[in-house]
Amino acid sequence: MAVYYNTNRKYVVKTTKGENMKVSFLLETALFQGIAPQELETLLPRLRMHKEQFSKGAIIYHAGERIRELGIVVSGRIQIETYDLWGNRSVLDSIGPKTIFAETYACLPDEVMLVTVSASEDSEVYFLDAHAMIKAASTHPALIQNLLTLTAQKNLNLSRRIFHTSAKTIRARLQSYLSFEATRQHSNDFYLPFNRQQLADYLSVDRSALSNELSKMQKEGYLRIHKNHVIFPKTKTR
């Protein structure tokens, strides 16, 4: 038997070690905010939750399929991307632990997915039945409120990407995105969630052209960059 306190030490739950780890993890996700540990323990069997592992590069969901389960990243990193008929890829998002994905499609099981979800690192994922979750919301209204908040956040992320890619030049796209990351991470010394190819796909530019522009910006003193580590040494204006 183990005792778990959430981050605000508001709730306490006593349970077995394995279940304690699961409950403690889920309580830290946005989907289960405002739900007491005891409630969550009784709720989980109804949601038919199960965990799966994916190796780097594995496809979790294919574009064109219909799904009923949303995912929560336990470890690793998941990428949301689209491909056109010629195989060109656009990265829409890259998400890490405690983040939910595919919730919109899972809640609309008759709609085919327009995106592909893959593991960009070795990853573990919890899957939950979305229909069962909606039914459970009658006694756990916080679930729907949290899901609505998450959906709104996803829409904001997509709008933000459109903003980053609306600039006509590669430098302007980089400046928009890197400025956002520095603000989001509250530091001029930060790590990008993408590798170089993924960043190029996210900004919808050629990888070589992106690398050339980053090299120019580094030579001009705008930034220092090594792999996905970026440092703004000083403020410069064009």
pLDDT in tens, the chain (238 residues): 444 444 444 444 444 445 667 899 999 999 999 999 988 988 989 999 999 999 999 999 999 999 999 999 999 999 999 988 788 888 888 899 999 999 999 999 999 999 999 999 999 999 999 999 988 888 888 888 998 899 898 888 889 999 999 999 999 999 999 999 999 999 999 999 889 998 998 999 999 999 999 999 999 999 999 999 999 986 554 4
> How many Cβ atoms sit within 10 Å of the Cβ of residue 103?
20
Q: Is the pTM of this model over 0.85?
A: no
Token digits of residue 157:
């992320």
Token digits of residue 24:
């403690």
Q: Which contiguous run of DSSP H or E holds residue 6? A: none
Identity at 136, one-letter amino acid code: A
Alpha carbon 60 to its chain centroid, in Å, reads 14
CA distance 94 to 104: 17
User: Given this model, what pLDDT does residue 3 score?
Assistant: 43
User: Given this model, what pLDDT does residue 234 score?
Assistant: 64
User: Given this model, what pLDDT does residue 125 score?
Assistant: 97
Token digits of residue 153:
């956040």
Q: Coil, strand, or helix at residue 65? A: coil
User: Given this model, what pLDDT does residue 18 score?
Assistant: 54
Q: Which residues contact 62 (CB under 8 A, 6 or more apart)?
A: 113, 116
Q: Which residues contact 193 (CB under 8 A, 6 or more apart)?
A: 77, 94, 96, 228
Sign of the torsion formed by the C-alpha atoms of 154, 156, 157 and 158: positive
